[in-house]
Amino acid sequence: MKDLREALERRKQEGLYRRRLIAQSAQAVHNFIDGKHVLSFCSNDYLGLANHPQIKQAFVEATDKYGVGSGSAHLVNGHSQLHHDCELSLAEFTGRDRALLFSTGYMANLAITSALVGRKDVIFQDKLNHASLIDAAKLSDAKFLRYQHNDLAQLKWLLDQHSTARRRLIMADAVFSMDGDKAAAKNLSLLGRQSNSWLMLDDAHGFGVLGENGAGLCEEAGLTQQDVPILMATLGKAVGVSGAFVAGSEELIETMIQSSRSYIYTTASPPATSAAVMQSIKIIQQESWRREKLFELINYFKKQAALLDCELMPSDTAIQPIVIGDNHKALDMALKLFEQGIHVTAIRPPTVAENTARLRITLSAEHEKQDVDLLIKALSVL
Ligand SMILES: *Cc1c(COP(=O)(O)O)cnc(C)c1O
Claim to verify: residue 271 and residue 301 sit in the same structural domain:
no
**Confidence band of 134 (pLDDT split at 50, 70, 90):** very high
* Domain final residue, candidates 269, 286, 303: 286
Q: What is the mean pLDDT of residues 33-61?
A: 97
Residues 14, 327 contacting (CB under 8 angstroms):
yes
Question: Does residue 201 register a pLDDT over 90?
Answer: yes
Question: Does residue 238 register a pLDDT over 90?
Answer: yes
* DSSP states of 302-348: HHHHHHTT--B-S--SSEEEEEEE-HHHHHHHHHHHHHTTEE-EEE-
Given this model, what pLDDT does residue 311 score?
81
Instruction: Answer whether residue 2 is part of any domain.
Output: no
pLDDT tens-digit map of 18-32: 999 999 999 999 999
Task: Tell me how many domains the chain contains.
Answer: 2
Measuring CA to CA, how many Å separate 43 from each of 196, 226, 256, 353, 381?
A: 38, 33, 31, 21, 23
Cis peptide before 350 (omega within 30 of 0): yes
Q: Where are the beta strands (DSSP E) in 186-336?
A: 198-202, 230-234, 244-248, 319-325
Q: How far apart are CA 294 and CA 86, in angstroms?
A: 26
Atom 3 of ligand 1 has which residue's CA nearest to it?
105
Given this model, what pLDDT does residue 310 score?
80
Q: Which of 177, 230, 317 to mutate to test the pocket of ligand 1 (most atoms within 8 A of CB)?
A: 177
Given this model, what pLDDT does residue 309 score?
77
Residues 351, 13 contacting (CB under 8 angstroms):
no
Question: Does residue 291 register a pLDDT over 80?
Answer: yes
As to burial, measured by CB atoms within 10 angstroms (0-12 exposed, 13-18 middle, 19+ buried), residue 13 is exposed
Claim to verify: residue 119 and residue 130 sit in the same structural domain:
yes
Ligand 1 neighbour 140 (Cβ under 6 A): no
Ligand 1 neighbour 204 (Cβ under 6 A): yes
Instruction: Answer whether residue 336 is part of any domain.
Output: yes
Claim to verify: residue 277 and residue 229 sit in the same structural domain:
yes
Instruction: Answer whether residue 4 is part of any domain.
Output: no
**Confidence band of 382 (pLDDT split at 50, 70, 90):** confident
Q: What is the mean pLDDT of residues 34-41?
A: 96
Q: What is the mean pLDDT of residues 229-256?
A: 98
Claim to verify: residue 269 and residue 308 sit in the same structural domain:
no
CATH of the domain at 82: 3.40.640.10
**Confidence band of 280 (pLDDT split at 50, 70, 90):** very high
Claim to verify: residue 144 and residue 59 sit in the same structural domain:
yes
Question: Does residue 108 register a pLDDT over 80?
Answer: yes
Atom 6 of ligand 1 has which residue's CA nearest to it?
105
Q: Which residues of 160-186 are buried (b: 16+ CB within 10 A; e: fewer)?
A: eeeeebeebbbbbbbbbbbbbbbbbbe
Q: How far apart are CA 251 and CA 363, in angstroms?
A: 38
Question: Does residue 82 register a pLDDT over 80?
Answer: yes
Given this model, what pLDDT does residue 198 score?
98
Query: What's the mean pLDDT when you consider all of the chain?
Result: 97
Q: What is the mean pLDDT of residues 126-154?
A: 98
Given this model, what pLDDT does residue 275 score?
98
Instruction: Answer whether residue 6 is part of any domain.
Output: no
Ligand 1 neighbour 177 (Cβ under 6 A): yes
Range of the domain at 121: 53-286
Determine how many CB atoms are found less than 10 A away from the CB of residue 277: 30
**Confidence band of 272 (pLDDT split at 50, 70, 90):** very high
Determine how many CB atoms are found less than 10 A away from the CB of residue 38: 22
Q: How far apart are CA 140 and CA 112, in angstroms?
A: 10
Claim to verify: residue 241 and residue 200 sit in the same structural domain:
yes
Instruction: Answer whether residue 5 is part of any domain.
Output: no
Q: pTM higher than 0.75 for the full model? A: yes
**Confidence band of 98 (pLDDT split at 50, 70, 90):** very high
Claim to verify: residue 275 and residue 302 sit in the same structural domain:
no
**Residue 170 one-letter amino acid:** I
Instruction: Answer whether residue 222 is part of any domain.
Output: yes
Determine how many CB atoms are found less than 10 A away from the CB of residue 279: 22
| Cα dihedral 201→205→210→213 (10° resolution) | 90
Q: How far apart are CA 372 and CA 305, in angstroms?
A: 10
CATH of the domain at 338: 3.90.1150.10
Question: Which atom of ligand 1 lies at the shortest distance from residue 244's CA?
Answer: 7
Residues 160, 188 contacting (CB under 8 angstroms):
no
Q: How far apart are CA 369 and CA 118, in angstroms?
A: 50
